Structure 1
Amino acid sequence: MRPAIKDQIQPPAPDPYSSVTVLGAGSWGTALAAVIARNGHNVRLWARRPEQADAINASGQNGDYLQGVDLPEAITATSDLAEALSGTQAVILATPSLTLRAMCQAIAPHLPADVPLALACKGVERRTGLLLSEVVSDELPGHPVGAVSGPTFARETALDHPTAATVAFAFSYHDRLKPDQSPAARMALTLSGHGFRPYVSDDLVGVEVGGAVKNVIAIACGMMSGAGFAENTRAALITRGIDEMKLLATALGGRRETVTGLSGAGDLTLTCSSTTSRNMSLGHQLGQGIPRPNCFEGRNVVVEGEVNAVSVTDLAARVGVPMPICETVHAILHEGADLQEAFSALWARPIEAEPYALDLSIDHPAPQHSLPFGGHA
């Protein structure tokens, strides 16, 4: 006789990772470290500069990136990679995408076997056209690789404002048999608590494409906002930007529905809505006519979308996906195109059908007219 339901053996609950290393003590890496530490787990936060690590340990704050935010005591900062990675159960990579490959090479001698690696940076590698998960797998084979992505500003996350994000890993055969024991589920459980609510995905490609493309679209929104245009324009760029995400994601094997979720449409909407985003802020300054060297008051601020404008459009061209908004941003940032002329040409492209099942292309009736820059409220 089968046992009663209440007497049946239940599968063990998934365990969170009790010891996590966050590589990168910028604003987002620090915010994720704060989330994990608040949930009762030990966190080692690696900072590139020893003086930054010492200051975090001494003050309980990251004054360089999250000034005024008190950090949980369970965070220990260090600039020593061997110390940061010793005995860790999981690693979050929060370094800039441009330095990701070098970081992977640096941690290889110190990384415990089989620990999962979650990306907290977004983009496509410029030289190779690889997604960042492919860069990690290339340099650190044998480790489960995933990503944490969604509509998240670091300061709000660090202050424990209600925040949602997606945790995505490629699922192995074993993961599909026991999805609640997968690295994605365990990482989500590690992050889950207080104001932070994660969702689990097995579509790593879709999540990564959303994160890379949204930075470029945010620069476009910033450019048009800085030039004086308002909500109609931003809504159009966001909506058509999501379409560019979908086309690239599906071409690379991702799923369209992933792009409509937190890591795609959600992240894009947030990033395109506030100059708190460095991508939106850069675009806004350029739209106001500020030369690139003078943006951010001349400070050397890393803007992921500036790099991604090259790598994303190169990748899209390689797989035959048209991405006119990203191509416009690329032309302005890297080919010296005039902002007004480039966006006027974007708006004067042939009229197309919104459902792709309807095959339609009609020349725009007024391609010679420029958008009314300076002639609007």
Structure 2
Amino acid sequence: MRFFSALAILIFHFQHFSFVGQAPNNFALMQLPFYDWLKPVYLNGGLGVQIFWGISGFIFFWKYAKVIEQKALNAKHFFVLRFSRLYPLHLLTLLLVAGLQILYLQSHESSFVYGNTDWRHFIPQLFLASNWGGQGFSFNGPIWSISVEVLIYLFFFLVARYFGASFFISIAVLLICTFIKHYNLTESFIVDCLLYFYVGGMTAALYSRLERTTYRKISLLIAFVVTTCAPFIFHLSNTSFSKILLFCYVPFLIYAGTINISAPKKYHGMIAAFGNMTYSSYLLHFPLQLLMVLIFEFFGIAIPIYDSLFFGAFLLGILLLSYVTYRFFERPMQDIIRS
């Protein structure tokens, strides 16, 4: 599920190839490759971020909530686990984008896609704090969602440690967030992330309660029916796919993903690889786009954004690069830091 959420974001951001500076140039959305099939992704693929947040909440509650509450996992160990997973690739892509944007600015009046490429925005980026306030997108823009999520990790740890990780605590957090959103007390993405993270956490709690009961099969069936039918209902009713609808949809989607499907052993490595590539593909796709734009401009070639072969080559290229990066950079750096 994480892989397909990441893939949706990659396809959604494919339109970056139409940008000159920070705006698309003579861009025809409906001419993008496989538009008839991928229209929902081209229009709403960015909502994969919210699905990511929900999945993260599910994983964190399922894996860490009890051990944090029981003080079997201390703050230092939790920090090292998160830091080793997130920071090395973030720093690498931050420096890479900074260098490539300098090259891009030699022949353009503004930076590519994301502005704010200055020291005032670079310093917070070093601390994964780029979007804790209203600083706007900068450098490797997609990192914004990770920056927000880092704060939620801290919130989750503190709440689980000092107040517990019960179902009622999660409801209280969701009610507070809903109150804040309803009265427009802030437009910060932090509250959005907290909402999806904790609804993912509540899904994990529901999964734990039903996993070994007679209600497991019927609950899975309900989740599959909602997950499968809802998109068609939205399409047929011509309903705008709002974040409210997505918020209601995400827990069903995550719960449906808990089905235990036994794949042949020979495919286990490939399935694990796809899961491991999600973070690297998310952070690498924009630097790769910027590099490709510079190369095409250097040779005076127009980017064939409407060509299906170029579309396929880009997706295949980012997946291969992500696999290599995880195997030869991310994983070794994790091992070094954790040791």
Q: Same fold (TM over 0.5)?
A: no
TM-score, scaled to structure 1 = 0.27
- Higher-Rg structure is 1
Higher share of residues assigned strand: 1
TM-score, scaled to structure 2 = 0.30
Of structures 1 and 2, the one scoring higher in RCO (CA 8 A, sep 6+) is 2
